[in-house]
Amino acid sequence: MEVVQEWMQNHFFGIFVLSTDFAADVFFWVSAFLASYLFLAHTHKNDGKQPNKCAFVLNRLVRLAPLYYFTLLFFWRFMVLLGGDGPMFFGYD
């Protein structure tokens, strides 16, 4: 445990590891901002008529579903082969 704490404090990349929770917050904020901006831009372009919300959600789902399914497949099938069993798997012979 002391080795990990020392690495986090003394290495440059430790900053990135410690700030991942902030990165996730920024990602969610920016994605919500862009989605609402696109929704309002589409509304403004159509003279105040709101776009079909189901089509809006379906378009987003069609764009994100392949990446989501690939990630599920990767961690379901391939990570088991490479990841071993537990966080200390490769530390022991």
Q: Using pLDDT thresholds of 50, 70 and 90, give the confidence band for residue 11.
A: confident
Give me the percent of the chain exceeding a pLDDT of 70.
85
Q: How far apart are CA 60 and CA 39, in angstroms?
A: 12
Whether residues 56 and 32 fall in one domain: no
Q: What global pTM score does this model have? A: 0.51
Q: Does residue 42 share a domain with residue 5?
A: yes
> Residue 60: what pLDDT?
83
Residues 6+ apart with CB under 8 A from 61: none
Q: So what's the pLDDT on residue 92?
A: 60
Q: Please check whether residues 39 and 23 belong to one and the same domain.
A: yes
User: Same structural domain for residues 11 and 42?
Assistant: yes
Which tens digit of pLDDT belongs to each residue from 15-52?
777 778 888 899 999 999 998 998 889 889 988 888 78
Distance of CA 16 to the CA centre of its chain: 15
**Residue 73 C-alpha from the chain's centroid:** 16
Residues 40 and 63 both lie in one domain = no
Residues 35 and 58 in one domain: no
Boundaries of domain holding 22: 1-48
Q: Please enumerate in sequence order all residues whose Cβ is within 8 A of that of 50, keeping only pairs 6 or more positions apart, or say none.
A: 43
